[in-house]
């Protein structure tokens, strides 16, 4: 049984609860972060905390703890649960004002709710998915227009994964105005003539921490990168495709909406970037 953190307390997971009046439950009034653990250490923790602080600020939500306190809590939850490979989920909501009301509660009277829990994962090198590559379908992006804020409103991404499953695929890419925005829970990339292409940052996509890391490593490896939008048709004609996220790292995509890429196998650029990403993450994890 896992030990989870709820508002200052360490509890067995079956005894951890939040109020029925919590705004996370009633209004999806909450944000979250997922930090990967490799070899018992936190990958890109600074990036995740910076994005958490930005998400909170954009929603006028009080911060539950300072960055150094959050780091200590992350380390403690990893240690308490003996996580070697896995991830730490951190969920923050606007708390429990004691009743249901659309207006935000006074932050002086209602403290945010802070919950943390861990998940175990296989070692990244053992990922069968990475060896096989993902099949993605294309679905319309009908999410709200502040996708840069990492909110807990994950219903449509959840539906997208179900649509993918039903279609015999692994995941879905969102399409808006004919252009790929991102995956249900990852950033989308294509490779054309040795050049990496991924959509630029705006309110249209989540500013992926893994995306930023891959951009840094690509520059170090002297790979050319274009941060621009691309159409579904361009993606289907690309040499390779892949997605990035804290949980999936760099994950090859081998089929887009029924069209196979790279002979239906993970491409060399995606495979190499996955290796570089894992190697660098191991080096820089804290
Ligand atoms: N886009 C969306 C919609 C996501 O949910 C995620 C994963 N949280 C990402 C991109 C990738 O972000 P990160 O690399 O920070 O995990």
Task: Tell me which residue has its CA closest to atom 7 in ligand 1.
Answer: 185
Among 45, 148, 208, 244, name the best residue to mutate to test ligand 1's pocket (greatest count of ligand atoms within 8 A of Cβ): 208
Residue 126: predicted pLDDT = 84
* Residue 171, ligand 1, Cβ within 6 A: no
Query: What's the pTM value of the predicted model, to 2 decimals?
Result: 0.97
Residue 165: active-site member:
no
* Residue 245, ligand 1, Cβ within 6 A: yes
Task: Tell me which residue has its CA closest to atom 1 in ligand 1.
Answer: 186
**Residues 12, 1: contact at Cβ < 8 Å?**
yes
Q: At what angle do helices 45-58 and 67-80 cross, to 10 degrees?
A: 120
Q: Please name each of the domains of the chain with its CATH number.
A: 3-121 (3.30.470.10), 128-284 (3.20.10.10)
End-to-end CA distance of the chain: 25
Residue 125: predicted pLDDT = 86
Specify the ligand 1 atom closest to the Cα of 44. 15
* Residue 209, ligand 1, Cβ within 6 A: yes
Range 237-270 burial, b when 16+ CB lie within 10 A, else e: ebbbbbbbbbebbbbbbbbbbeeebbeeebbebb
Task: Tell me which residue has its CA closest to atom 8 in ligand 1.
Answer: 185
Does 238 have pLDDT greater than 90? yes
Q: What is the pLDDT of residues 7-45, one digit of tens each?
A: 999 999 999 999 999 999 999 999 999 999 999 999 999
Specify the ligand 1 atom closest to the Cα of 205. 1
From 150, 165, 195, 283, the catalytic residue:
150
Biggest CA–CA distance in the chain, Å, is 59
**Distance between Cα 214 and ligand 1 center (Å):** 13
Q: How do strand 225-227 and strand 195-198 relate by DSSP bridges?
A: parallel
Q: What is the pLDDT of residues 169-221, one digit of tens each?
A: 999 999 999 999 999 999 999 999 999 999 999 999 999 999 999 999 999 98
**Distance between Cα 245 and ligand 1 center (Å):** 5
**Distance between Cα 57 and ligand 1 center (Å):** 19
Q: What is the pLDDT of residues 36-61, one digit of tens each?
A: 999 999 999 999 999 999 999 999 99
**Distance between Cα 187 and ligand 1 center (Å):** 6
Residue 247: predicted pLDDT = 95
**Residue 172 to residues 17, 32, 139, 148, 271, Cα–Cα distance (Å):** 32, 21, 7, 18, 20
Specify the ligand 1 atom closest to the Cα of 48. 15
**Residue 66 to residues 45, 60, 99, 249, Cα–Cα distance (Å):** 13, 16, 28, 27
Among 136, 171, 206, 250, name the best residue to mutate to test ligand 1's pocket (greatest count of ligand atoms within 8 A of Cβ): 206
The pLDDT confidence band at residue 86, using thresholds 50, 70 and 90, is: very high
Q: What is the pLDDT of residues 96-127, one digit of tens each?
A: 999 999 999 999 999 999 999 999 999 998 89
**Residues 85, 38: contact at Cβ < 8 Å?**
yes
**Residue 127 to residues 69, 124, 132, 231, 251, Cα–Cα distance (Å):** 32, 6, 9, 29, 10
């Amino acid at each position: 049984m896992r030990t989870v953190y709820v508002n200052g307390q360490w509890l067995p997971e079956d005894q951890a609860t939040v109020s029925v009046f919590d705004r996370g439950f009633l209004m999806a009034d909450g944000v979250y972060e997922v930090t990967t653990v490799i070899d018992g250490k936190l990958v890109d923790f600074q990036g995740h905390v910076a994005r958490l602080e930005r998400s909170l600020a954009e929603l006028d939500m009080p911060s539950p703890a300072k960055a150094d306190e959050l780091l200590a809590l992350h380390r403690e939850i990893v240690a308490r649960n003996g996580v070697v490979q896995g991830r730490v989920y951190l969920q923050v909501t606007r708390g429990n004002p004691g009743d249901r009301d659309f207006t935000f509660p006074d932050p002086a009277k209602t403290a945010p709710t802070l919950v943390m829990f861990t998940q175990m994962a296989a070692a990244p090198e053992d990922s069968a998915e990475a060896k096989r590559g993902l099949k993605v379908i294309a679905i319309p992006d009908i999410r709200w227009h502040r996708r840069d804020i990492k909110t807990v409103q994950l219903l449509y991404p959840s539906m997208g994964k179900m649509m993918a499953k039903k279609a015999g695929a692994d995941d879905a890419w969102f399409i808006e105005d004919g252009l790929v925005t991102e995956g249900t829970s990852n950033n989308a990339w294509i490779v054309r003539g040795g050049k990496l292409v991924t959509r630029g940052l705006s309110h249209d996509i989540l500013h992926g921490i893994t995306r930023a890391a891959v951009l840094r490593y690509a520059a170090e490896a002297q790979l050319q990168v274009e941060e621009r939008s691309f159409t579904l048709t361009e993606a289907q004609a690309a040499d390779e495709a892949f997605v990035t996220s804290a949980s999936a790292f760099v994950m090859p995509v081998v089929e887009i909406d029924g069209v196979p890429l790279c002979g239906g196998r993970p491409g060399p650029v995606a495979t190499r970037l996955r290796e570089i990403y894992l190697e660098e993450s191991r080096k820089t994890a804290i």
